[in-house]
Chain A
């Protein structure tokens, strides 16, 4: 479980998003919940973080397409054509484990970024803080997916930090 989830003071909106990232992982047949699943969960929300992602073309469908594109390109790098989804359909484990990338994203998130602001506003921005944690990764699935999709990751981080 990500260390942040042990925090009893965890903002309820962020907790909700973290819980729905588990469903995103299960829906994709993943054996662990990773940063990309948290990104998908955030992009499905209509809060300020989700809306900012959408402004960069990253609504839920946009993130999904970017992630698929990344996996297809990565498989092609090894000479493998994508396998049809129906051949991969399986009953899933009900509870995937927490992956290293989601833990790292929550560690990178600066939840103290809005310390001076009222509690309600800090709570409103907790999901945005987690999003910045995801986007700060320089290597791996998420930065690759965004680069291939033509998204300016630094501009996106700057836009979220201005919220």
Chain B
């Protein structure tokens, strides 16, 4: 018996693709927004609090990228 191949544009495939698109959108929005906040002078602690994650988590995820972007990161109360 030929295995059933689901329609790539069917209802279930649409919802699964929505998950992919939402993850991608969330990742890109996070990168863009964290960068804007840090340029505006937010501290790591403030960004972490707004995202509801630990300071360590947000620092680990974005520190290198923002250093590459040449953003002067706040040291005090950071």
Q: Which residues of A contact B (CB under 8 A)?
A: 29-31, 70-71, 73-75, 77-78, 80, 83, 87-94, 138-141, 143-144, 147-148
* Nearest-neighbor residue (CB-CB) of A140 within chain B: B8
Neighbour of B18 across the interface among A74, A90, A139, CB < 8 A: A74
A143 touches B8 (CB 8 A): yes
* Chain A residues, CB < 8 A from B17: 70, 73-74, 77, 140-141, 144
Known: A29-B28, A77-B15, A78-B18. A91 touches B5 (CB 8 A): no
Alpha-carbon separation in the docked complex, A151 to B13 (Å): 18
How many residues of B sit at the interface, in one of the four size bands?
Answer: 20 to 34
* Nearest-neighbor residue (CB-CB) of B23 within chain A: A31
Interface of B is mostly: helix
Q: Which residues of B contact A (CB under 8 A)?
A: 5-6, 8-9, 13-15, 17-22, 24-25, 27-29, 31-32, 35, 64-66, 68-69
B36 CB, nearest partner CB in chain A, Å: 8
Alpha-carbon separation in the docked complex, A90 to B27 (Å): 11
